[in-house]
Chain A
Amino acid sequence: MDILSFLVIIPVLTVLGIIIAKDPKHTRIISAIGMGLQLILAAYLVFAYLGERNAGNIAEMLFRQDYMWYANLNIHYSVGVDGISVAMIALTAVVVFAGIFASWKVDFLPKEFFISLILLSTGVFGFFISLDLFTMFLFYEIAVIPMYLLIGIWGSGPKEYAAMKLTLMLMGGSALLLVGILGIYTNSAPDGGALTFNILEIAKVHIPIEAQRLFFPMTFIGFGILGALFPFHTWSPDGHASAPTAVSMLHAGVLMKLGGYGAFRVAIFLLPDAAQELSWIFIILTSISVVYGAFGAIVQKDLKYINAYSSVSHCGLVLFAVLMMNKTAMDGAILQMISHGLMTALFFALIGMIYGRTHTRMINEMGGLMKVMPFLGVAYVIAGLASLGLPGLSGFVAEMTIFFGAFQHTDVFHRVVTIVAVSSIVITAVYILRVVGALLFGPIKNPHFEHLEDAKWFEKLSTVTLILAIAAIGIAPLWLSNMIGTSLQPIIDKLSMIIP
């Protein structure tokens, strides 16, 4: 059975279902059922994957399917997963599921909203299962384009500007990426033979170093723009601030992860020599991201801006860890993607819920909300604690794995940047506690807030799903870390083969 293709088929069928739906209520229910099935499928995939591995299947990618798509250029629809993609798929399924419930009350063109949202998720799922660079790129574009509509139509504030900026910057990234991918393609058979887009095939050959030097920066920056690499991150604050709740959730929670995932699956895995040679430039940029994002977040007043900057910092850590190029750090990078995906989705969901009640996102206009909406307040505190790396929640596991991985390098440069990155934990604590204090604690500033309602059932469902996932990883991280770690082995082998 072709289990992976179902990950793409279910969202497409859901979209079709929404098209024939009669009223908004049906739209919502169909979306919820579709994405619920998707969540179940993703959970099943995790167990099926672990089952196969326990049964001794040591193939690099499992559940492979391969269909020729365009023979002239040797483009295939080729899918397969390893532990890393499985983890990312599970993350996506959780975030999308929570996102549907967080946008339960979208009343402006609900049908079109849910169609775009689910289309976006289709792209993401497709991206994570693809083994063919071209198909991967195609899915990537499917994920990015609905974003423009979602922000431009359902957004708030200067939404046209934000949508335009976000799309243009990401398209700029795509352009670099396309050139990079084509460059890899044209060099995929240095000893003659058929050119290929297949990642596993390319990984077996050694791309000439000159070509690597040219195409590594392109692919890395191309993906890096999506992963909020300094100084290409400025789409993020404006984009998030204007985006509707579920879009922020998906975007920060999942879409930004395409950047990190691509950066190591394509840029590092396929172009390891250049990665090794040029990593120092990007390590400097990412360690700037980490600290700079955190400092940037301290002075912001808009909840969404705070989170956008916080995402710059946390996603910077992902790319930072990827560039450390050892098993522990990369394991941490993937864990950080998952952890950040979950907690930032939770943050944006909560910000959306709070905004829906108070009609403001400015922290200086709020205060004492804990008293009127304890459920949302507690959830916000949990999200904050996860973000500042409290043990028992997912952020801690990811950050520590990254720090200890990075510290395995013995040279001064790597040590110093690691300590710079570690110091972000204090700055994070500062801005998180500032927000939590201003937003939830203290006396109630605005008398209109006295009678606000606490979370509704669908909001609770959305929040609890995410919190459970965060806590599950935080309390028992070993299985996830092992699942990822085993799958990193081919990449580590390739790196160690090449590095002198």
Chain B
Amino acid sequence: MTSFSFTVLIVLIPLFVFLFVGLLGHKMKPIVSGIIGTSGLAIAAILSYFTAYQYFFNTEKIGGAYQKILAFNTVWLQFTDKLHIDMGVLIDPISVMMLIVITTVSLMVHIYSIGYMKGEKGFARFFAFLSLFSFSMLGLVLATNIFQMYIFWELVGVSSFLLIGFYYTKPSAVSASKKAFIVTRFADLGFLIGILILSFNTGTFDFISLTNVNGAAIATGSGIAFLGLSTMTWSLILVFMGGAGKSAMFPLHIWLPDAMEGPTPVSALIHAATMVVAGVYLVARLFPVYAISAPDGLMVVAYVGSFSSLFAAVIACTQYDIKRVLAYSTMSQIGYMMVALGVSGYGGHEGLGYMASMFHLFTHAMFKALLFLGAGAIIHSVHTNLMTEMGGLRKHLPITHITFLIACLTIAGVPFLSAFFSKDEILTAAYHSNKLIFVVQLFVAGLTAFYMFRLYFRIFWNKDTHYHHTPHEAPLTMTFPLIFLAIASIFSGYIPFSEFVSSDSLPFETEIEWWPIAIPSIIVGLLGISLAYILYKKESTLPHRIASSVKFFYTSAFNKFYFDEIYMFVTKKIIFNYISRPVAWFDRHIVDGFMNSLAWITNVTSVKIKGFQSGQLQQYAFVFISGAILLGILFIYLFSI
């Protein structure tokens, strides 16, 4: 058997780069730190591709199934005899696939950033943080046990926090980073409690024992415990809460649009391609447990995913900030992946949804990273995020234009581009499991095509805006990643995914079901595109008039259905004003007041009684004699009875 112990390096190299650039970055020339960061990632990427090749083509399969390989494992902390946290590397189809996704996108983002961040203050810091993020994300996907995953989960959260708040002198960036951290932290509370319950019931953190279909872990936890669901189901729903937070699923999605305050390459890497799919990966990682012991939990995943994808797509149609449109689009697409997992069964062709979810994760990473990097190139050249201030850019930015168009066509599900295949598999899985969800997802596919082409036409066609500085095409460091990702977006759909990734690790066959799935989906997609063409190809007042005719709905969607306001109310009003202030007041005035009043009583008493020790002999004599007389009377009285 091939040894995979070298895979530890894939995780460790970015860590060393982080420490090196983080500690010494301010002493180097900026470009040097950029080159060190990029080459570190390049080595990790090469190793990842090598791992993938070795794993899929040169490793012995048992019974035709890909094996889970523990490439490295060491005990990190021992809780009880049974429960211990390990640090290790687990190699299996989905972790290898994630390695490819992360290192590819991360490498492209590194290269892109050399151009994009040129001349920025904190160039070295930026690359240090990118390496920290890559380290955490790779550690997350290679985790051998759920607690290791939680550890890296938190590290990913903090790298995201640091990168969103990269422009730390900008108040909006600071509050966005804070919001992202706290919302995901709240979700992680659910994750942690879920792990507590899950590990207590099954007696293990280890993924291999947890997901062993014939193992003890899956067999435990049946039986109703609370509100009609088993303990196992509850723990898995809580774990999913963590995943929903990280993956910006409704109602924990509010941090993602604000996270766009970060530099655009960060949005591409963290908030589009890799970190936000961690929630999907988490469910996929525990998939056998969900599918076999907690089907109700899986149902929650499906409905949350479906609603989120619809909700986000509607909002995306109304936004003007191009990065926010893309953010909502990300949320919507992750909803698709969740749906796919939610409707999937376990084993063989039943597990089509599982495969489709991973497939879509893969293709989405490519085209969404491309969209964000393209958006970055646009913002870089016109210095604004608002599509209302753009138009006619196709003449100025030819490469960005073409690559952006490819990405838009891909996400719209135009046949024979990558997302056509992956989205088609998701729709097929949904169709065979839940018709309602299928219809919703089909409708969302149309909305997706519409809002993406609304974006595309507003930016590249529409009115010929006059710019202060004529926009210039980005440098090669920025266009190269665009071209690379565009190629990936076109062709990654031809990877025979079901050969590699499946719910039970056994390869299976899939084919496109033209009717009733692929053809309707193509039609809806084309409808969306045409509508956007009519409304936005040329400058017109039609969109405005349509918006005013459904004013209430439009304003609600434009204001993101007021979710920020609701959260604001809960945090500012309830937590700050109605809990914390009273607690602080109570502490000062009641608890401390009690202590102070004790002191005050002691003081007053001593002031009152200190008069007794006046030092005046006559007074002492008087008290002494009166006391003696009183005692005398008392004794006489007592003895005379």
Interface residues of A (CB under 8 A from B): 165, 168-169, 230-231, 233-235, 237-238, 292, 295-296, 298-300, 327-328, 368, 370-371, 385, 388-392, 396-397, 400-401, 403-405, 407-408, 418-419, 422-423, 425-426, 429-430, 433-434, 437, 440-443, 477-478, 481-482, 485
Check B169–A441 contact: CB distance below 8 A: yes
Which single member of A295, A300, A404, A440 contacts B196 (CB below 8 Å)? A404
Check A429–B165 contact: CB distance below 8 A: no
Which single member of A422, A477, A478 contacts B192 (CB below 8 Å)? A422
* Chain B residues, CB < 8 A from A429: 181-182, 185
Q: How far is the CB of B331 from chain A (nearest CB, A)?
A: 22
Check A485–B78 contact: CB distance below 8 A: yes
Check A407–B200 contact: CB distance below 8 A: yes
Check B581–A299 contact: CB distance below 8 A: yes
Which single member of B79, B170, B575, B576 contacts A404 (CB below 8 Å)? B79
Check A328–B79 contact: CB distance below 8 A: yes
Chain B contributes a number of interface residues (CB within 8 A of A) equal to: 48
Q: How far is the CB of A171 from chain B (nearest CB, A)?
A: 12
Check B154–A391 contact: CB distance below 8 A: yes
B476 interfacial contact with A, CB 8 Å:
no
Which single member of B151, B174, B575, B599 contacts A442 (CB below 8 Å)? B174
Interface of A is mostly: helix
* Chain A residues, CB < 8 A from B170: 442
Proximity string of chain B (71-105) to chain A, C-beta cutoff 8 Å, 1 when within and 0 when not: 00001111110010000000000000000000000
Q: How far is the CB of A161 from chain B (nearest CB, A)?
A: 10
* Chain A residues, CB < 8 A from B609: none
Query: CA–CA, A447 to B599, complex, Å?
Result: 44
- Given contact pairs A403-B192, A441-B169, A231 touches B591 in the complex (Cβ within 8 A): yes
A-B contacts, 10 listed (Cβ < 8 Å): A165-B599, A391-B151, A392-B151, A396-B154, A418-B196, A419-B193, A429-B185, A430-B182, A442-B168, A442-B174
Check A404–B83 contact: CB distance below 8 A: yes
- Given contact pairs A299-B581, A429-B185, A234 touches B592 in the complex (Cβ within 8 A): yes
- Given contact pairs A295-B583, A296-B583, A425 touches B79 in the complex (Cβ within 8 A): no
Check A442–B171 contact: CB distance below 8 A: yes
Check B185–A426 contact: CB distance below 8 A: yes
* Chain B residues, CB < 8 A from A237: 587
* Chain B residues, CB < 8 A from A437: 174-175, 178
Check A426–B189 contact: CB distance below 8 A: yes
- Given contact pairs A391-B155, A425-B185, A426-B186, A443 touches B171 in the complex (Cβ within 8 A): yes
Query: CA–CA, A433 to B592, complex, Å?
Result: 27
Query: CA–CA, A422 to B189, complex, Å?
Result: 7
Q: How far is the CB of B419 from chain A (nearest CB, A)?
A: 35
Q: How far is the CB of B230 from chain A (nearest CB, A)?
A: 16
Check B196–A298 contact: CB distance below 8 A: no
Check A298–B591 contact: CB distance below 8 A: no
Q: Which of A370, A396, A433, A482 has the most CB of B within 10 A?
A: A433
Which single member of A296, A390, A401, A404 contacts B158 (CB below 8 Å)? A390
Known: A388-B185, A425-B192. 20 other contacts (CB 8 A): A165-B596, A296-B580, A296-B584, A300-B584, A327-B80, A328-B79, A368-B169, A371-B169, A389-B154, A390-B154, A391-B152, A397-B77, A404-B83, A408-B80, A422-B189, A423-B189, A442-B170, A443-B171, A477-B76, A481-B77
Query: CA–CA, A433 to B193, complex, Å?
Result: 22
Q: How far is the CB of B467 from chain A (nearest CB, A)?
A: 29
* Chain B residues, CB < 8 A from A404: 79-80, 83, 196, 199
* Chain A residues, CB < 8 A from B79: 328, 401, 404-405
Q: Which 4 A-B pairs have the closest CB atoms?
A: A234-B592, A391-B151, A298-B580, A441-B168
Check B77–A478 contact: CB distance below 8 A: yes
Q: Which of B170, B587, B599 has the most CB of A within 10 A?
A: B587
* Chain B residues, CB < 8 A from A370: 168
B579 interfacial contact with A, CB 8 Å:
yes
Q: How far is the CB of A388 from chain B (nearest CB, A)?
A: 8
Check B587–A234 contact: CB distance below 8 A: yes
Closest to B84 in A: A478
Query: CA–CA, A288 to B599, complex, Å?
Result: 25
B436 interfacial contact with A, CB 8 Å:
no
Q: How far is the CB of B370 from chain A (nearest CB, A)?
A: 31
Q: How far is the CB of B601 from chain A (nearest CB, A)?
A: 13
Check A481–B78 contact: CB distance below 8 A: yes
A-B contacts counted at CB < 8 A amount to 126
Check A433–B182 contact: CB distance below 8 A: yes
Which single member of A296, A400, A418, A434 contacts B587 (CB below 8 Å)? A296
* Chain A residues, CB < 8 A from B495: none
Query: CA–CA, A405 to B150, complex, Å?
Result: 17
Q: Which of A292, A300, A429, A477 has the most CB of B within 10 A?
A: A429
Closest to A381 in B: B162
Closest to B591 in A: A231
B595 interfacial contact with A, CB 8 Å:
yes
Check A295–B580 contact: CB distance below 8 A: yes
- Given contact pairs A403-B196, A404-B83, A426-B186, A433 touches B168 in the complex (Cβ within 8 A): no
Check B576–A299 contact: CB distance below 8 A: yes
Q: How far is the CB of B77 from chain A (nearest CB, A)?
A: 5
Query: CA–CA, A65 to B94, complex, Å?
Result: 59
Q: How far is the CB of B588 from chain A (nearest CB, A)?
A: 8
Check B169–A433 contact: CB distance below 8 A: no
Q: How far is the CB of B382 from chain A (nearest CB, A)?
A: 25
- Given contact pairs A391-B154, A404-B199, A441-B169, A430 touches B575 in the complex (Cβ within 8 A): yes
Check A390–B155 contact: CB distance below 8 A: yes
Q: How far is the CB of A454 from chain B (nearest CB, A)?
A: 12
Q: How far is the CB of A297 from chain B (nearest CB, A)?
A: 8
Query: CA–CA, A443 to B75, complex, Å?
Result: 45
Check A440–B189 contact: CB distance below 8 A: no
* Chain B residues, CB < 8 A from A405: 79-80
Query: CA–CA, A426 to B594, complex, Å?
Result: 30
Query: CA–CA, A235 to B186, complex, Å?
Result: 31
Query: CA–CA, A417 to B171, complex, Å?
Result: 37
Query: CA–CA, A388 to B189, complex, Å?
Result: 12
Which single member of A238, A327, A392, A433 contacts B181 (CB below 8 Å)? A433
Proximity string of chain B (194-227) to chain A, C-beta cutoff 8 Å, 1 when within and 0 when not: 0010011000000000000000000000000000
Q: Which of A233, A407, A408, A482 has the most CB of B within 10 A?
A: A407
Closest to B148 in A: A391
Q: How far is the CB of B190 from chain A (nearest CB, A)?
A: 10
Q: Which of A231, A388, A391, A430 has the most CB of B within 10 A?
A: A391
Q: How far is the CB of A7 from chain B (nearest CB, A)?
A: 29
* Chain B residues, CB < 8 A from A295: 575, 579-580, 583-584
* Chain A residues, CB < 8 A from B150: 391
Q: How far is the CB of A376 from chain B (nearest CB, A)?
A: 14
Proximity string of chain B (157-174) to chain A, C-beta cutoff 8 Å, 1 when within and 0 when not: 010000001001111001
Q: How far is the CB of B567 from chain A (nearest CB, A)?
A: 13
Closest to A297 in B: B580
* Chain B residues, CB < 8 A from A418: 196
Proximity string of chain B (554-584) to chain A, C-beta cutoff 8 Å, 1 when within and 0 when not: 0000000000000000010001100111011
* Chain A residues, CB < 8 A from B584: 295-296, 299-300
* Chain A residues, CB < 8 A from B78: 478, 481-482, 485
- Given contact pairs A442-B171, A443-B169, A328 touches B192 in the complex (Cβ within 8 A): no
Q: How far is the CB of A163 from chain B (nearest CB, A)?
A: 13
Which single member of A234, A368, A401 contacts B595 (CB below 8 Å)? A234
* Chain B residues, CB < 8 A from A423: 189
